[in-house]
Amino acid sequence: MVDKELLKILACPACKKDVVLDNDKIVCTKCGRRYPIKDDIPIMLIDEAEMPPCGRKEG
């Protein structure tokens, strides 16, 4: 589980917008990139992110 205080200071490394916790991923509120969490550590690397599903409206 990611600490709520840590989540408040994290930002998407791609677009610098806020992120939210969604099950086992950290999700950008703007671009929709989904960053994995491994061993309770958010992996906030653009190369590790999953892109949003096709058809999702970004921005």
Say which CATH topology domain 4-48 has: N-terminal domain of TfIIb (2.20.25)
The domain locations on the chain are: 4-48
Q: How far apart are CA 32 and CA 2, in angstroms?
A: 19
HEC string of the chain equals CCCHHHHHHCECCCCCCEEEEECCEEEECCCCCEEEEECCEECCCHHHCECCCCCCCCC
With a cut of 90, say whether residue 55 has pLDDT above it.
Answer: no
> Is residue 11 a contact partner of residue 17, using CB atoms and an 8 Å limit?
yes
pLDDT digit string, tens, across residues 4-47: 899 999 999 999 999 999 999 999 999 999 999 999 899 999 99
What confidence tier does 1 reach under pLDDT thresholds 50, 70, 90? confident
Res 59 pLDDT > 60: no
